[in-house]
Amino acid sequence: MSGKKRMTLGDMERLTYLTEFFELENYGIALWKEFGDDVKEPFEAMMKMLDEPECIEDR
């Protein structure tokens, strides 16, 4: 958050959890507005992976 490195998806997940836990909804929204572009690509990749059906091999 100091601006020295980009926010990672893991960092954003932890901060989102804390803002929800402490009921700081406006702060969470502000974080997504400021750092959403940093995590956009990995977030979209994760969501795409979650939408794909799992491949299960019959053995």
Query: Model pTM?
Result: 0.68
pLDDT, residue 52, reads 81
Residues 32 and 11: their CA atoms lie apart, in Å, by 12
- H runs (alpha helix) in 1-59: 9-21, 25-51
Using alpha carbons only, what angle is made at residue 6 by residues 1 and 52, rounded to the nearest 5 degrees? 115
Which residue numbers in the chain have pLDDT < 70? 1-3, 54-59
DSSP 59: -
Q: Which two tokens stand for residue 51?
A: 């939408």
Nearest-Å Rg of the Cα atoms of the chain is 15
54 in helix, strand or coil?
coil
pLDDT, residue 9, reads 92
